[in-house]
Amino acid sequence: MRRILITGANGFVGSALCQDLMVRGYTVRRAVRRSEERPQKVPLLQGAEFGVPVGDIGQDTDWSVALDQVDCVVHLAARVHVMKEAAHDPFAEFRRINTAGTEQLARSAVQAGVRRLVFMSTIKVNGEKTTEAPFRESDLACPGDPYSVSKWEAEQALSRIAAETGLEVVILRPPLIYGPGVQGNFLALLKVLVRGVPLPLAGINNHRSLLYLGNAVDALLFAATHPDAGGKTYLLSDGQDISTPELIIRLAMELGVASPLLHCPAALLRLAGRMLGKMDSVSRLINSLQVDSSAIRRELGWVPPYSLEQGLRATAKWYLDA
């Protein structure tokens, strides 16, 4: 598995994975949406400086050039949560890119002679929150929104293709991935902490599993290269769960600012979330979401190379240096 195609190569995880693979001596091809206007740091399979443009991802995407002479595909490109939704039918758009697009890539990979495809799914396939026990691979799928439904449907499509063709499919379901370059809610939290905005979360008693970028990249490498990974689905995490208040305290310490925690009943936070139309954001802050990632450790011998503490420190340093 020395020649690897990365989709979503310019993204948060994709760019870090490409750089890591190149340092380790792998030959990397980067699939990008459009032709690039300037050279990138990560070379292609042929030694060129630009990514291979594949256009929009969907059921008609032509992957032939990108897949030529490739041993393994790591499929990271996806339609994720959109802050300002503009699609007429968002559910159809999620399915077009995440489900049909993934199936088209897999069938094209089979035709090109690719041996393995690693699919980055999401822990949201298991569900939105945990109550009594962490999520495990053996749990029944319970996706709760268009994004996670489209990912679950993609997983099912990949399983069918693997059974029909012998393509080695590896599915990974991560929780929230953080690290240098992070965007979304985690970046928003960093900004709030630096500004000293009070956060009414001191009374929250939850447990969240996270995944540091460096650990995500290392797990993807294991999935792409380990001889026993084919046909498996694995849940990922740093292996150290943390509550929302503890996360805030640790990040504030690494950022060198005071922890702005205030007490507020969870019921009142939920009420405010419903009134403001921010229930999803509030739920992520106050609910638990724990992941049992022992299977990949036990079966493949994967050990996260970075601790939660190291991950939070590196993320805070990146933010301060940016």
Render pLDDT for 144-193 as a digit per residue (tens, 0 to 9). Answer: 999 999 999 999 999 999 999 999 999 999 999 999 999 999 999 999 99
Residue 26 is a catalytic residue? no
Q: Where are the alpha helices (DSSP H) in the chain?
A: 12-23, 64-67, 90-94, 101-111, 146-165, 184-195, 213-225, 244-255, 266-276, 279-286, 294-300, 308-321
∠ CA 103-105-109, rounded to 5°:
115
| pLDDT at 112 exceeding the cut of 70 | yes
Render pLDDT for 121-140 as a digit per residue (tens, 0 to 9). Answer: 999 999 999 999 999 999 99
Mean pLDDT over 26-46 rounds to 65
Structure tokens belonging to residue 255: 């950022």
| pLDDT at 46 exceeding the cut of 60 | no
Please name the residue that has the structure tokens 């026990």: 133
Render pLDDT for 67-105 as a digit per residue (tens, 0 to 9). Answer: 999 999 999 999 987 655 566 788 999 999 999 999 999
| pLDDT at 194 exceeding the cut of 50 | yes
Please report, for residues 102, 148, 156, 233, the alpha-carbon distance to residue 121 in angstroms, rounded to integers and kept in the order given.
11, 8, 11, 10
pLDDT at 87: 66
Helix and strand numbers (H, E) in the chain are: 12, 9
Structure tokens belonging to residue 137: 């691979």
Domains and CATH numbers, the chain: 3-173 (3.40.50.720)
- Look over the chain and give the mean of its residue pLDDT values, rounded to a whole number: 91
| pLDDT at 116 exceeding the cut of 70 | yes
| pLDDT at 40 exceeding the cut of 80 | no
Q: Which of 26, 147, 234, 319 is catalytic?
A: 147
Could you tell me which of 283, 304, 288, 297 has the C-alpha nearest to residue 137? 297
Q: State pTM to two decimals.
A: 0.92
| pLDDT at 258 exceeding the cut of 60 | yes
pLDDT bin (cut points 50, 70, 90) of residue 268 is confident
For residues 83 and 291, the model is more confident at 291
Please name the residue that has the structure tokens 């159809």: 92
| Three-class DSSP category at 235 | strand
pLDDT bin (cut points 50, 70, 90) of residue 51 is confident
Query: What is the Cα–Cα distance from 194 to 257, expressed in whole angstroms?
Result: 7
Secondary structure of the chain: what % helix, strand, coil (to 5)? Answer: 45, 15, 45
pLDDT at 86: 61
